[in-house]
Chain A
Amino acid sequence: MTGALIYACVGAALFVCGVAGLILLPHLLRKILAFNIMGSGVFLMLVGLGQHDNIPDPIPQAMVLTGIVVAVAATALALAFVRRLLYLTSKAQFVANSKSLDQTEEKLITRERNKEGDASK
């Protein structure tokens, strides 16, 4: 087994871990971390598989760079959304069903009204 192939295999393992985490973990922050692990796995695969005869190939490197940029942007967007969700519901998890969603919305509305009431006082 060449070194490049080892990278690729480790990448594949990381990828599987990431996918499993993304699907199974309930906490949103962990999901975002899992996504990053998944992404790193794919990048390793790209670099590893792209390396024929142990000569570094520039094209996968360029692709991975692009991929990293995309992943950073996606992570930032995800974090922004989770922060917003944390502000709205004080939980970083999916709400189970729409009934409880309606309840949290009502709570939120009353909270904001109370704030407004306090301000007007």
Chain B
Amino acid sequence: MSVNESLLLLVLASSLVPGVIIFFLPESRIRLRTLLNLTGAILKLLLIGYMLWGIQHGQIYILRYNLLLNLELVLKVDALAALFATLSAALWLLTTLYAVGYLERSPHRSRFFGFFSLCVTATVGVAMAGNLFTFFIFYELLTLSTYPLVVHRGTEAAIRAGNIYLIYTLSGGAVLLVAIIWLYSLLGQFEFIYGGVVAVLDSKYSPQLQIIFLLLIIGLGVKAALVPLHGWLPQAMVAPAPVSALLHAVAVVKAGAFGIIRIVYEVYGVEYLQSMNLLIPLAIAASITIIWGSLRALWQSDLKRRLAYSTVSQVSYIILGVSLFSPVSTIGGIVHLVHQGIMKITLFFCAGNYAETLGIHKISEMNGVGWRMPWTSIAFCIAALGMIGAPLTAGYISKLYLNQGAEIADQMWASGVLTVSSLFNATYFLPIMYRFWFKTQPQTWVQERIYARGRWETHGLLLIPPLVSAAATLVAGIFADTDWSPLYWVKLIVKREYLL
């Protein structure tokens, strides 16, 4: 096994091994557990960073293992995989820090962190999967390992949310499995390749391929929360804040969106889909989701549920960008995968901070909270402005490219959808910000659990992660043109996807 091959396994092992060890640690070994978690997270980040460097210098990272005669496990890190893996690993590190502070006194922490690490392993596996078979393995592993986190609190509501989550994701997984096996039976064994592999098939197979595409999108759409398959996401918000933050802003929904990217560009090929008229329906489904999610978000009084519906809407930006058939919109879509992740995780961190520090869950309870928790609120405002698409933030870049792409592709209606959605975004975020700073504080907070000590408005480990991710939102927006920004990297990916 060469160095590059073992690197791929090491990336998986860096979260799997700590996860397995943590399962067997007694609850009281807090330090050892934290040490293991952080070591794993930092190691993973370093390994992926090294691979990023390697990819730029023409290294190829691929590992094939023959399971059966015609069935290979393939792990591969290409530019797209590296993007998603970097995002997951970086946000895992932040979320681990956050979770250590958040769960300081709660029970079952070994179980929690164990499954948390498994989830990250699955997510990185999804990113690195080199063919659909491998992708499916990690995709289902992600479903299984997130379930214990959703029901972690063990309350009635958590159990109900867990049931709904399972019904949606397992059914979606089953549909996906049938679609993948069908595709394998037509094509034999194949890997993800720039430009797609399906075009080689005779045209008599096109009706079958259309049905398979529909099944694939349904299967992946459950996790990507495409309307009407999104029902599990708002329910799953009963999970603890770190889970909502990492898994429902990044890992799970992005695994679905990421899968759709792979299907569109590297299985079917965007040219082929365009010739079969399959891109427009996908774009329409994404647009409906964008509008519907934003609309529903308006009516939510619970902060986390509002954020959840916002996620429903924002993830479909990625799918919209991907399905508009122009390289520029693709840049917008894929870069939003990163930008939305950074911004949404900030918002969830902040929501968790309000709930944990002051016991605030409802938006109506947030009057004047900006003066009690200024740092958290500033972070929240930056991320919310990013969601709206304000200049200088990461969100601006995404929307800029998406809009331009829609123009180039001559699909101005998509541009209209984006504008309407931005208006809705503003309508559901601006009132919250207004409450933060311009309404007077109540006499007592709902349930103040952590008191301010000097400059620390809350627990330090709860404060640093949102500040870092909010800063990242700004940096990704302001320095978008530099050589190390997500945008630069995405441009590289899109060049390859369109075979330019």
Check whether chain A touches chain B (CB < 8 angstroms): no
